[in-house]
Amino acid sequence: MQIRELTIAGAFEVTPRQFPDDRGAFWEWYRFDALAEAVGHPLDLRQGNGSVSRRGVVRGIHFADVPPSQAKYVTVTAGAVIDYVIDIRVGSPTFGRWEAVRLDAVDRRAVYVGEGLGHAFVSLEDGSTVTYLVSEVFNPSAEHGITPLDETVALEFPAEAGEPLLSPKDLEAPTLLEARASGLLPTWGATTAYGRALDERWSAAR
């Protein structure tokens, strides 16, 4: 597989090598060792999630407190989505910026969303099925959101997604600047310090 770091530090695009034949196809959609080598530490898998979404559904922007946050490895098993990684780390040189990757059942890419980053996606087809491997179990008190319609973040949804469909919780979430003013966002310093600690722990264990 090919692993490419995105312009948002701590986020990676993973493109697997596929082996098609007359029976179908085979690919490795997750490799513990390859991801750890790229990131600096492994994904400490604690939970697996899945969602099925209609065309136009937007999920996010979601994030968790640092530490320990919740790193994510996201891929699509049916349909297609545009996956967004948003830098919400106060003090980061790319604070407020985002990058998007198309995830679908053709190229079968995945996105790794590191600790302290925001995550969202929009479904491009009915029945888009997203699978997430995450580094921490769900903790409602540590989970937060930013509205994906925030004009400061300005996520761009493709025309093929149609009208955005959001949950009331995501629609009513604060904007990026409101979340920063309330002290809700992770900081660049805390996130990088936590990442270094994970890297050092992994290096010592090898």
Name the residues annotated as catalytic. 62, 132
- Cα 78 to Cα 142: distance, rounded to the nearest angstrom: 30
**102 φ/ψ angles, rounded to the nearest 5 degrees:** -80, 125
**27 φ/ψ angles, rounded to the nearest 5 degrees:** -155, 155
Handedness of CA 18, 26, 137, 122 (dihedral sign): positive
Cβ-Cβ contacts under 8 Å for 42 (sequence gap 6 or more) = 32, 35, 36, 202
DSSP letter assigned to residue 114: -
